[in-house]
Chain A
């Protein structure tokens, strides 16, 4: 079983739709969580951090459920420009300034006119 698992996708949605992605992680000691987007053949770009209290940035909402060990990303009013691969990232810190980041394999979103 992978340490971080994401919905395999692909998700094909019309403009204006609401779409949700889920991500589960296996290491209960994980401490910080992020969503990145990656366009084809480009580097991942930070979309948002994920907090236990949930956080929102415009059309994007991220939530963390530590008890169930999953993270979610909700995109409202999808735009054509939202088409990308969305990567879930889980950070585990072993001790001061030592740790690793584990990425999911990503979920591909295509928003169609």
Chain B
């Protein structure tokens, strides 16, 4: 069975630009969450979506937005990129909220 997939794997952007990251969950999973991980820290929760609705939001600025599509795939958008947005962005899917999550390989974003 296919696991969680994410694209692209690596991305280099300049300050002020916009980026869209994509995630496809495990088949049958309806919940998708997004995380940001910087070196030396655990993943920080950004958003959780279930059945195409935002169900949870972490402490991130409004420059971060996301959506979930009818096929349960998801996009994370970040506007007006800052140097501090450089990180590994992880997507995780689960059958339902509070169930175990399975992570994709992540998108490594570098902002120069």
Instruction: Give min CB distance, A3 to chain B, whole Å.
Output: 10
B31: nearest residue on chain A (CB-CB)?
A97
Whether B33 pairs with A101 at a CB distance below 8 angstroms is: yes
Query: Does B97 contact A42, Cβ atoms closer than 8 Å?
Result: no
The 8 A CB mask of B67-104 against A (1 = contact, 0 = none) is: 00000000000000000000000101000111111111
B55 at the interface (CB under 8 A from A): yes
Q: Which of A61-113 contact B (CB under 8 A)?
A: 87, 89, 91, 93-94, 96-106
Partner of A45, one of B33, B55, B103: B103
Known A-B contacts A98-B48, A103-B43, A103-B44; the reply to A43 vs B100 at CB < 8 A is: no
A contact set with B: CB distance below 8 Å: 4, 31-32, 34, 42-46, 49, 87, 89, 91, 93-94, 96-106
Chain B interface (Cβ within 8 Å of chain A)? 31, 33, 35, 40-45, 48, 50-51, 55-58, 90, 92, 96-106
